[in-house]
Structure 1
Amino acid sequence: MSAPSRGRGTGPTHGRPSPYGALHRALRLLEAVDRHPHGVGTAELARELGLPPAAVRELAETLECEGYLLLDEAVWVLGGALTLLGQHNREQLVRARLHRKLADLRDELGAAVYFSRYHDGELSVEAVSATEEAPAVQEWADFRATAHASAIGKCLLGQLDDDGRRDHLARHPAAPLTARTITDAEQLLHRLDRQPATVPVLDLQEYALGTVCAAVPVTAGSTVGCLATSMPVQSAYRLRAAAELLAERAAPLMVAMAV
């Protein structure tokens, strides 16, 4: 005899309502209320969710009892319980939002995307979104030691002051990775000085042969970060447009990372 299904369908199971269906509707309701920072009425929620107003009100009242919603002058707003969840689990919530944003951007670009930071003197790739159709670049040389050769690294170094850049290059000397790699520290520093903040940083097979990359700065609070993409050299003709899209998406990404 086969095991019972554990799928996440919202329909009835053996004549009984699936608990996943109620959970799904509750989450969609909370998301709908969250889209209305000044509150939203039951009728409008019902239209957005495609549910009967009576069902929406019953579900909203249940969430109100648990502190997740609040009825304020005939409109629903998020309750204090969600605020507490955000405070207790802020890091997980921010990371989840970040991964969703990166996945959306990956699908839009048709290429792998990365979010990286420069923290405590080191480069760190914080999140990567890739698929078989949009593969990430293979880390054949430690990203932390090859900032001089990658779009990510140069974008992050470009946001440091001269002392910070020189300190990094003193600890991680510029080694040749391909014939295109800049290994002269002064030449690299000169290029970083001349790089406009509004122009994406490119890596045209400097880190790895067969791969091109682009990166743009992302600043959120004290974060020195960047948003980047990589693609096969055969798709290099798409890199400029991809870099422009990265720049457009940098601001929404900062919002996703906000408290």
Structure 2
Amino acid sequence: MALKPEPTAPFHSVQHALRVLETISRHAGGVTDVEIARETGLPTAHLSQLLSMLRREGYAQQLTDGAYTVGDALLLLGSGADRSRALRDKLQRTLDQLRDSVGAAVYISRYIDGEVKITHYADGPMAPKVNEWAEFRRTAHASAVGKCLLAQLDHDGRMDHLSRHKTARLTSRTITNEKVLFHKLDSQPPTVPVLDLQEYAVGTVCAAVPITAGKTVGCLALSMPLEHAHRLRQAADTLNRKAAPVLLSLAI
């Protein structure tokens, strides 16, 4: 499976955040933001945003003298046998916060062994998850999650997927023509959320943004009932802005 080459905005933020964490980790006694800026080469304004995010997520902490050291969350994620549980708990807390922030059910999906898989999600009484009336793995052409994942594959990868999962019509809005689908995927800007406007299910709208880490294709998505469709664009933009902490947890 080959990936398309263009990286996304969250990807760039995570690469920078990892550089900052590496710098902090090298200074056991703490390191100032001035030293971090010098060692990473990052602009002060961008570094300030990254440090704020890293503190908020528990990956870094600031001492009383203003220096930064490694945070508890990073120590947990690096602790061998407990890492998988710590990562799962960390991702769930992040998704719960994101659900409340966007006012919608949120999901992490990965493309694993040629299949669409929802690996984590957060829903609630005020943020119901999508009713999986047709298997997500068979309906990538219709869902925001599926289209976001397919958009990150090259032509052969997409063709391989659709040779195993045909483009069935699920609603009157479902794209079933492969040429039309591929054109939409190719014209999708990598930093703009992919939308599903009742293509998978009548009464449901969704959005997804890519969170590719290394060679693993993934996305962060949300869904909401049609009556909240007027909030979709704003919620999708919020999802895009807050994708970096999720991707960072997966990358560490």
Q: Does residue 258 in structure 1 map to residue 251 in structure 2?
A: yes
Structure number with the bigger relative contact order (C-alpha 8 A, sep ≥ 6) is 2
Match of residue 140 from structure 2: 147
Match of residue 156 from structure 2: 163
Q: 2:132 is matched by which residue type in structure 1?
A: E
Match of residue 209 from structure 1: 202
Match of residue 219 from structure 2: 226
Aligned positions, number: 189
Distance 1:97 1:84 in 2: 9
Q: 2:173 is matched by which residue type in structure 1?
A: R
Q: Which runs of 5+ in 2 are unaligned?
A: 1-23, 31-68
Distance 2:246 2:124 in 1: 20
Structure 2 SS opposite 1:168: helix
Distance 1:250 1:78 in 2: 20
Match of residue 44 from structure 2: none
Structure 2 SS opposite 1:113: strand
Match of residue 7 from structure 1: none
Match of residue 178 from structure 1: 171
**TM value normalised by structure 2:** 0.70
| Native 8 Å contact 1:97 1:257 kept in 2 | no
| Shift of residue 256, structure 1, vs aligned partner | 1.8
Q: Which runs of 5+ in 1 are unaligned?
A: 1-35, 42-75
Residue 238 to residue 171, structure 1, CA distance change in 2 (3 Å): same
Match of residue 34 from structure 2: none
Q: Considering only CA atoms, is the larger Rg found in Structure 1 or Structure 2?
A: 1
Structure 2 SS opposite 1:152: helix
Structure 2 SS opposite 1:89: helix
| Shift of residue 219, structure 1, vs aligned partner | 1.8
CA offsets, 1:24-49, max 9 Å, x none?
Answer: xxxxxxxxxxxx965689xxxxxxxx
**TM value normalised by structure 1:** 0.68
Which deviates more from structure 2 when the two are superposed, residues 82-91 or residues 245-254?
Answer: 82-91
Distance 1:111 1:211 in 2: 11
